[in-house]
């Protein structure tokens, strides 16, 4: 999968690309990430990429020519990429959106700054707008890295454990169950006995029950997305959770 990221601050993206899962995915050839400095396509000697808005008002607006030049250069070398503008006006980014976008072979992420981009870019060059949340960042670079990270981990062969994606929080409308590792005792607190019992059926039941309990307590609205098997519904009923789950699902 190919990511092209357009920004006026390319160095902001250097460190995240050199660490963890993304670095390994790049090294393994699972993804390619190319950073493009929009200033390289500015038309004046000062490499200006922004100007005052027509009609007055606060802030500055990113000029259309450098962005259009960047996008045309990418299209010339690798045609067919889907252009996404990181914008607070965009559709809210979710796990389902990450799964949808992971099906594309080429994503072009346009990072805005200041008061945004000239509307002629938005109207004529952008395929869709995405917002990672209802808050304002100083630019789209952090949002772009959120997308690269969340999409990359969905690609086949990127994560060491194939089940990790399927069992992730938000993948099935449930928060993940509590996690424990060595030592078995820490500051007087011990690991739940069921997890060291060797009884895989009991462990699976404990994980489902505690996952549902966590979701009911912290993010009950997620249960509207949850789907349970007949066996899981029986477990919830036995543990007196089914009524609470059904109530959340009914809204």
Is the pLDDT reported for residue 161 higher than 80? no
Please provide the average confidence, as pLDDT, over all residues in the chain.
95
Token pair for 93: 């980014």
pLDDT at 41: 98
pLDDT at position 236 over 70? yes
Residue closest to 229 by CA, chosen among 172, 179, 175: 172
Catalytic residue among 153, 205, 207, 232: 153
- Is 44 labeled as catalytic in the residue annotation? no
Q: What is the pTM of this model?
A: 0.89
Is 172 a residue whose pLDDT tops 70? yes
Cβ(179)–Cβ(46) below 8 Å: no
Could you give the CA distance from residue 25 to residue 248 in angstroms, rounded to a whole number?
38
Residue 165 pLDDT > 70: no
Known catalytic membership, residue 10: no
Query: Which of 53, 64, 88, 178 is labelled catalytic?
Result: 88
Specify the DSSP element, H or E, that contains 130. Answer: strand 128-131
**Segments making up each domain of the chain, as ranges:** 2-152, 185-250
Closest CA to 13 of 132, 145, 108, 116: 145
The single residue of 37, 65, 115, 129 carrying the catalytic annotation is 115
Query: What CATH class is the domain 185-250?
Result: mainly alpha
Statement: 2-152 belongs to CATH 3.40.1280.10: yes
168 annotated active-site: yes
């Amino acid at each position: 999968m190919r990511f092209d990221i357009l920004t006026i601050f390319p160095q902001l993206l250097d460190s995240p690309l050199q660490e963890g899962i993304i670095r390994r995915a790049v090294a393994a050839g699972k993804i390619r990430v190319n950073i493009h400095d929009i200033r390289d396509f500015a038309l004046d000697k000062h490499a200006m990429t922004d100007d005052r808005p027509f009609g007055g008002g606060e802030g500055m607006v990113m000029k259309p020519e450098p962005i259009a030049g960047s996008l045309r250069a990418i299209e010339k070398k690798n045609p067919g990429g889907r252009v996404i503008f990181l914008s607070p006006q965009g559709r809210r980014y979710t796990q389902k959106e990450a799964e949808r976008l992971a099906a594309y072979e080429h994503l072009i992420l346009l990072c805005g700054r200041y008061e945004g981009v000239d509307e002629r870019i938005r109207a004529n060059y952008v395929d869709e707008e995405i917002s990672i949340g209802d808050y304002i960042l100083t630019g789209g670079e952090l949002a772009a890295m959120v997308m690269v990270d969340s999409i990359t981990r969905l690609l086949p062969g990127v994560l060491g454990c194939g089940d990790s994606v399927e069992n992730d929080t938000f993948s099935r409308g449930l928060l993940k169950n509590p996690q424990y590792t060595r030592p078995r005792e820490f500051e007087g607190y011990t690991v739940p006995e069921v997890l060291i019992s060797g009884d895989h059926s009991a462990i699976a039941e404990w994980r489902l029950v505690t996952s549902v309990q966590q979701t009911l307590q912290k993010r009950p609205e997620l249960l509207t997305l949850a789907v349970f098997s007949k066996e899981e519904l029986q477990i919830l009923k036995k543990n007196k959770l089914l009524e609470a789950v059904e109530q959340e699902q009914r809204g």
